[in-house]
């Protein structure tokens, strides 16, 4: 089994998309703590778990404090009144520290006023992938025992947020299962697929493992799981190849994510886009075209947003005998930098030459996502007449948020 793929710079695409707006706050340290780093293992020593729990605080995000006993936790600067975020890495074929973990922790501490604890199980995750899978139950039990020490100190189950990467996502699910689904939140970043696609709900991450379970899928065509595993599953760029990442293999977090759904759905799939460069975030707009007269065949319209260094397109298809078509267009720059929309009625390649003079008439509207207020929908003031294969441009002014 190959090591975690670098095409999973996906993790940063997923994390930084999630952390588009980060807040920061620093507090002066009261004392100089003793710092502990992740362990390194080799292929011959990867059978023992040798789990370490490393606490990171905003005052010194680069210093991990080893916390094993309750006394360690109490003397470490751990704040039981804050939320606690637990990070669990995945399979480590070569027994090395995850290269992304330091920056992950730093960004997380800037985004949230919380205790951040990294679970170092490099020893147990090293060697053969299937050996790491066999260690999942043992690791989950150790993490559960560690969480019980936090609960004794006054931490509430609902304030615990576990972030599991790859195989670590299923570890998070099993820990949540041990706590009967009462932990506050689990985030699975590209949950692992091998050995888990057909696993039972007790063995893998699922929506019953926490009060809110979400997953971000970025590698479903390789080592990521293809099926939904949470209340909400995000399939970034379709969940497969990510822009800006190599196609070969080698060796983010706003509170509640803006989701307010009661009761929580059992399964929702969400598809979104990213750019190929940090911070990977894009703005999304809903675009709609309304035909004045429905047609007897499908109608395809290409919509292009133009502006200052912005050129983004999407195709809208209006099914036959229907009058409305919708699409989602994504663009990296703020919406107020868009000043023009280009519409093109795409003629079928099988149309007779005389039919290429066909025209359609309709209305065009757009609105920023998520749509909170219908008053913010922007429509062209007059109906648009489009001739097959001829692009028409109109001025478009969208306010920034």
Give domain status of residue 278, yes or no: no
Last residue of a domain, one of 240, 272, 304: 272
Side-by-side strand order, sheet with 60-66: 60-66, 52-57, 114-120, 83-88, 160-165, 185-189, 212-217, 232-236, 268-272
Domain identity same for 186 and 106 = yes
Residue 105 has pLDDT above 80, yes or no: yes
pLDDT for the residue numbered 160 = 97
Of the spans 2-11, 161-170, 346-355, which averages the highest pLDDT?
161-170
Residue 129 has pLDDT above 50, yes or no: yes
Domain identity same for 184 and 254 = yes
pLDDT for the residue numbered 15 = 53
> Could you write out the DSSP letters of every residue in 125-159?
T-S-HHHHHHTHHHHHHHHHHHHHHHHHTT--GGG
Residue 297 has pLDDT above 50, yes or no: yes
Task: Note the pLDDT tens digit of each residue in 212-233.
Answer: 999 999 988 888 999 999 999 9
Q: What are the b/e assignments for 3-29, b being 16+ CB within 10 Å?
A: bbbebbbbbbbbbbbbbeebeeeeeee
Of the spans 7-21, 23-37, 268-282, 383-397, which averages the highest pLDDT?
383-397
Rounded to an integer, the average pLDDT of 290-318 is: 91
Domain identity same for 376 and 262 = no
Residue 301 has pLDDT above 90, yes or no: yes
Domain identity same for 48 and 156 = yes
Residue 260's contacts (CB-CB under 8 Å, 6 or more residues apart) are none
Give domain status of residue 235, yes or no: yes
pLDDT for the residue numbered 221 = 83
Structural domain for 322, as ranges: 283-395
Residue 182 has pLDDT above 70, yes or no: yes
Domain identity same for 83 and 210 = yes
Per-residue confidence band for 267, with pLDDT thresholds at 50, 70 and 90: confident
pLDDT for the residue numbered 135 = 93
Domain identity same for 331 and 232 = no
Per-residue confidence band for 243, with pLDDT thresholds at 50, 70 and 90: confident
Per-residue confidence band for 333, with pLDDT thresholds at 50, 70 and 90: confident
Pairwise CA distance, residues 98 & 189, whole Å: 14
Domain identity same for 263 and 346 = no
Domain identity same for 137 and 256 = yes
Give domain status of residue 381, yes or no: yes
Per-residue confidence band for 260, with pLDDT thresholds at 50, 70 and 90: low
Per-residue confidence band for 31, with pLDDT thresholds at 50, 70 and 90: low
Question: Rounded mean pLDDT of the chain?
Answer: 83
Last residue of a domain, one of 229, 253, 272: 272
Indicate the pTM of the whole model. Answer: 0.70
CATH number at residue 139: 3.40.50.1820
Joined tokens for residue 13: 């695409």
Give domain status of residue 39, yes or no: yes
Least confident interval from 216-220, 274-278, 312-316, 369-373: 369-373
Domain identity same for 168 and 258 = yes
Per-residue confidence band for 75, with pLDDT thresholds at 50, 70 and 90: confident
Give domain status of residue 216, yes or no: yes
pLDDT for the residue numbered 281 = 81
Domain identity same for 37 and 96 = yes
Rounded to an integer, the average pLDDT of 52-65 is: 92
Give domain status of residue 400, yes or no: no
pLDDT for the residue numbered 98 = 93
Helix/strand/coil percent split, the chain, to 5: 20, 30, 50
Domain identity same for 306 and 258 = no
Q: What are the b/e assignments for 266-291, b being 16+ CB within 10 Å?
A: eebeeebbbbeeebbbbbebbbbbbb
pLDDT for the residue numbered 335 = 83
Give domain status of residue 111, yes or no: yes
Last residue of a domain, one of 272, 291, 317: 272
pLDDT for the residue numbered 24 = 37
- pLDDT above 70: percentage of residues in the chain: 82
CATH number at residue 349: 2.60.60.20
Of the spans 18-32, 48-62, 146-160, 338-352, which averages the highest pLDDT?
146-160
Of the spans 86-100, 248-262, 369-383, which averages the highest pLDDT?
86-100
How many domains are contained in the chain? 2
Domain identity same for 291 and 212 = no
Distance of CA 360 to the CA centre of its chain: 39
Per-residue confidence band for 323, with pLDDT thresholds at 50, 70 and 90: very high
pLDDT for the residue numbered 316 = 92
Per-residue confidence band for 351, with pLDDT thresholds at 50, 70 and 90: low
Residue 108 has pLDDT above 60, yes or no: yes
Give domain status of residue 1, yes or no: no
Residue 1 has pLDDT above 50, yes or no: no
């Amino acid at each position: 089994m190959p090591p975690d793929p670098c095409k999973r710079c996906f993790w940063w695409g997923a994390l930084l998309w999630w952390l588009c707006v980060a807040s920061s706050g620093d507090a002066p340290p009261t004392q100089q703590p003793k710092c502990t780093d992740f362990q390194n293992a080799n292929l011959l020593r990867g059978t023992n778990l040798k789990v370490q729990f490393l606490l990171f605080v905003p005052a010194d995000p680069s210093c991990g404090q080893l916390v094993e006993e309750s006394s360690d936790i109490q003397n470490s600067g751990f704040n039981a009144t804050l939320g606690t975020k637990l990070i669990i890495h995945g399979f480590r074929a070569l027994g090395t520290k995850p290269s992304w973990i330091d920056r992950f922790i730093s960004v997380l501490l800037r985004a949230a006023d919380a205790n951040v604890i990294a679970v170092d199980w490099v020893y147990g995750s090293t060697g053969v992938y299937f050996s790491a899978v066999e260690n999942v139950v043992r690791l989950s039990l150790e993490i559960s025992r560690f969480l019980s020490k936090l609960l004794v100190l006054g931490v509430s189950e609902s304030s615990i947020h576990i972030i599991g990467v790859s195989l670590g996502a299923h570890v998070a699910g099993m820990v949540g299962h041990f706590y009967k689904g009462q932990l506050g939140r689990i985030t699975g970043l590209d949950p692992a697929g091998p050995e888990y696609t057909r696993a039972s709900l007790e063995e893998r991450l699922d929506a019953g493992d926490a009060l809110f379970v979400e997953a971000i899928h970025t590698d479903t065509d390789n080592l990521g799981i293809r099926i939904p595993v949470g209340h909400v599953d995000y399939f970034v760029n379709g969940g497969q190849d990510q822009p800006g990442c190599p196609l070969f293999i080698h060796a983010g977090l706003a509170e509640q994510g803006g989701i307010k759904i009661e009761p929580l759905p059992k399964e929702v799939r969400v598809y979104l886009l990213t750019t190929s460069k940090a911070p990977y975030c894009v703005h999304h707009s809903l675009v709609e075209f309304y035909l004045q007269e429905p047609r007897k065949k499908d109608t395809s319209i290409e919509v292009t947003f133009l502006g200052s260094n912005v050129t983004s397109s999407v195709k809208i298809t209006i099914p036959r005998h229907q009058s409305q078509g919708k699409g989602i267009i994504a663009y990296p720059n703020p919406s107020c930098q868009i000043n023009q929309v280009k519409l093109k009625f795409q003629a079928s390649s099988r149309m007779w030459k005389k039919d290429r003079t066909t025209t359609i008439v309709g209305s065009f509207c757009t609105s920023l996502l998520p749509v909170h207020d219908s008053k913010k929908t922007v429509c062209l003031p007059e109906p648009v007449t489009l001739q097959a294969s001829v692009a028409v441009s109109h001025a478009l002014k969208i306010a920034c948020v």
